[in-house]
Structure 1
């Protein structure tokens, strides 16, 4: 008979293992010595030790599921319970019990982690839905559309919730995206319609601009081109493929007109500059007629200068007031000389002046006699009053005599 601390072989070849409940039959060995029998079953024990060690490592270092770990534990426990090995089976059972505790703990951790992940996923999806619903009302079509696409990618990367919750949130999320897409589609449809209207309007403006490009009615046509530009700006933009071409035609027509007008105006400006020089020479010649000494000669000379003036034509607008003002000054001086001469030679005016002078002379003479009489009578107060009246009549008489002298005596 052979034995070791954990087992023995009796004389019949039966192998026993020692446990806390007593010896248990491991098996029967008839093929060799008792030592070889114990060694065989001890190797089976070592195999269980290795298997448990590997399982402990897998549980601690891999993502082995609790279900698979429990199945592996039960498989090893069954071998231990069936006593097919010689060794400290109680120690192996204890290690399995601790491993069960570890698996249960890991199960709870994973359950809690999963619950946390679910809550986080729910919160994340609710935030995605809220943002999507806000974006659904946006008119920032490009940036909002890009953001919604990014939200879809984010949604796909999140864990699923329970079917009911996930479906409800996805319905809201999908509805928000659809609402935005409908609004964007309606907006661009409206924009396309506006651009089509703008294209038609601008084609009409281009046609009119091109029809005016050869006009020589400079003022009216330039004003019409300004109106056409105002209408162009108010029309809005046409489709991109039409806008540049329409603008080039519209601008080109204007360029043709304004280039032709510019050439004409340049010639006109040169002509008007020469006209100004000629009129300044005439103004200088006219100013030599002042002061007027010979009215008839001055009048004839000015008439001749004025005829030459009118024949010259326009001068630059900004120079016109000054040069015309010089001629008007000479003209007014001649007119004033004419008025003075007319007053001097007018018989009716001379007669009226002479009559007024005679009346004033008679009144003065009469007042002098009345003063002398009053003083002779000793009435000085009356004489003084009459003297003051005489002063006023004398002043009028002096003025009338001066006016009469202007008529030649």
Structure 2
């Protein structure tokens, strides 16, 4: 035999629950130990606790109707009264009784709320009618029409009043909308001639757009399509039955052209990307010629590389400066090597360099003597002036000596 504060199991396996009215039979348990029996029916009780808790929450926090709440309470009460659980069933009954009271309280609250909402809805609909009757006299066709449509949407979102009141207000509201609609139709009837002209203009634009759709003159044609679009917008709207058809043809012609252009550009981009890869390889091959050790061989190799370079097509514009700069750098290095070689092997240039060096050396020596003489005479100002002139001539001499060294002597 096993028991807990709320139930027990006797020797025959019968499970009892303790209530205020005494013990009640819960059921018979033959599948295991008495403790397992009590645990099973205690879980049943916990399930009821959870269900009641959920229902309490729904009643407090949702719009659950009183009818549905009462049905749910009755269903739970039947389960509690069936005594198929072990636990404080009297506490559950008390909670269900309190829940009945809460449902009734909520019912009265909702009733009062509905009355309040009805009053608010009446005032709101009266305000809508007043605004609609004011808009009925407006000449702001688009703004007033959009506002009236918005008022209709607002009206639909409001609760219904009693039938008589609702019908009277709706009749006034509808009459105001009809009056505005009649005046607007009369106004737009005068625009038929303009719409017919717009249709003729747009048919011409569509014809030109369709004629251009197969063009491969990409730049000028794209520019013309932009002009056509500007003319289309300036033409105004045609009649509704023609507008969509004309637009679909106009837009379709543009789509054909721009799709073809995109396809060609995509193919060209892929080709230029491959060309860039080839030119980068050629630039790398050219850079391996540096530093120049055999000028004749390097120049011949560079000519070969440059011929292959010229045979490669265009590369993407944004990558062009970098890859071409690499080739130009190699070419400049070769030119500098040629110039250095020419200077080393040109006797006339060597003679001119030697002559210039001699002249500068003589001038430097002369200035040094003049400076010594000026300092000996105490003429510091003249000595300083001659010293500045000497510094300039010495710099030229150093540069000339460096150039002479490039000729090998």
Residues 203-352 of structure 1 aligned to structure 2 (within 5 Å): 203-345=203-345, 349-352=349-352
Aligned to 2:291, what secondary structure does the other structure show?
coil
- Measure, in 2, the Cα distance between the counterparts of 1:395 and 1:138: 90
- Superposed CA deviations along residues 355-379 of structure 1, whole A, max 9, x for unmatched, are 222222333444566678x59xx94
- Measure, in 2, the Cα distance between the counterparts of 1:366 and 1:134: 107
TM-score, reference length from structure 2? 0.51
- Measure, in 2, the Cα distance between the counterparts of 1:403 and 1:395: 13
Q: Structure 1's 305 and 139: CA in aligned 2 closer, same or farther, altered over 3 A?
A: same
- Measure, in 2, the Cα distance between the counterparts of 1:318 and 1:397: 47
- Measure, in 2, the Cα distance between the counterparts of 1:334 and 1:272: 28
Q: Is 2:378 the partner of 1:381?
A: yes
CA contact (8 A) 2:199 2:243 kept: yes
Gaps of 5+ in 2: 1-128, 152-167, 173-178
CA contact (8 A) 1:360 1:396 kept: yes
- Measure, in 2, the Cα distance between the counterparts of 1:260 and 1:389: 73
- Measure, in 1, the Cα distance between the counterparts of 2:348 and 2:288: 34
- Measure how far apart 1:342 and its partner are: 4.4
CA contact (8 A) 2:218 2:261 kept: yes
Aligned to 2:200, what secondary structure does the other structure show?
helix
Equivalent position of 2:198 in the other structure: 198
TM-score, reference length from structure 1? 0.51
Q: Structure 1's 408 and 184: CA in aligned 2 closer, same or farther, altered over 3 A?
A: same
- Measure, in 1, the Cα distance between the counterparts of 2:228 and 2:388: 80
- Superposed CA deviations along residues 320-347 of structure 1, whole A, max 9, x for unmatched, are 2332222222223223333444455555
Residues 73-112 of structure 1 aligned to structure 2 (within 5 Å): none
- Measure, in 2, the Cα distance between the counterparts of 1:390 and 1:260: 73
Q: Structure 1's 396 and 142: CA in aligned 2 closer, same or farther, altered over 3 A?
A: closer
Q: Is 2:353 the partner of 1:353?
A: yes
- Measure, in 2, the Cα distance between the counterparts of 1:328 and 1:192: 68
Aligned residues: 256
CA contact (8 A) 1:135 1:144 kept: no
Greater mean alpha carbon deviation, residues 284-293 or residues 316-325:
316-325
Gaps of 5+ in 1: 1-127, 155-176
Equivalent position of 2:140 in the other structure: 139
- Superposed CA deviations along residues 82-134 of structure 1, whole A, max 9, x for unmatched, are xxxxxxxxxxxxxxxxxxxxxxxxxxxxxxxxxxxxxxxxxxxxxx9xx9798
Q: Structure 1's 367 and 230: CA in aligned 2 closer, same or farther, altered over 3 A?
A: closer
Greater mean alpha carbon deviation, residues 293-302 or residues 271-280:
293-302
Residues 62-73 of structure 1 aligned to structure 2 (within 5 Å): none
- Measure, in 1, the Cα distance between the counterparts of 2:216 and 2:326: 34
CA contact (8 A) 1:364 1:390 kept: no
CA contact (8 A) 1:199 1:237 kept: yes
CA contact (8 A) 2:371 2:387 kept: no
Equivalent position of 1:362 in the other structure: 362
Pair member with larger Rg = 1
- Measure, in 2, the Cα distance between the counterparts of 1:143 and 1:310: 65
- Measure how far apart 1:288 and its partner are: 0.6
Residues 158-173 of structure 1 aligned to structure 2 (within 5 Å): none
CA contact (8 A) 1:368 1:390 kept: no
Q: Structure 1's 395 and 277: CA in aligned 2 closer, same or farther, altered over 3 A?
A: closer
Residues 18-37 of structure 1 aligned to structure 2 (within 5 Å): none
Equivalent position of 1:189 in the other structure: 189
- Measure how far apart 1:209 and its partner are: 1.0
- Measure, in 1, the Cα distance between the counterparts of 2:135 and 2:304: 87
Q: Structure 1's 302 and 366: CA in aligned 2 closer, same or farther, altered over 3 A?
A: same
CA contact (8 A) 1:279 1:323 kept: yes
Aligned to 2:378, what secondary structure does the other structure show?
helix
Greater mean alpha carbon deviation, residues 278-287 or residues 333-342:
333-342
- Measure how far apart 1:181 and its partner are: 9.0
Q: Structure 1's 367 and 200: CA in aligned 2 closer, same or farther, altered over 3 A?
A: closer
Aligned to 1:238, what secondary structure does the other structure show?
coil
CA contact (8 A) 1:361 1:397 kept: yes
- Measure, in 1, the Cα distance between the counterparts of 2:255 and 2:354: 76
- Superposed CA deviations along residues 209-234 of structure 1, whole A, max 9, x for unmatched, are 11011112222222322332233233
Equivalent position of 2:6 in the other structure: none
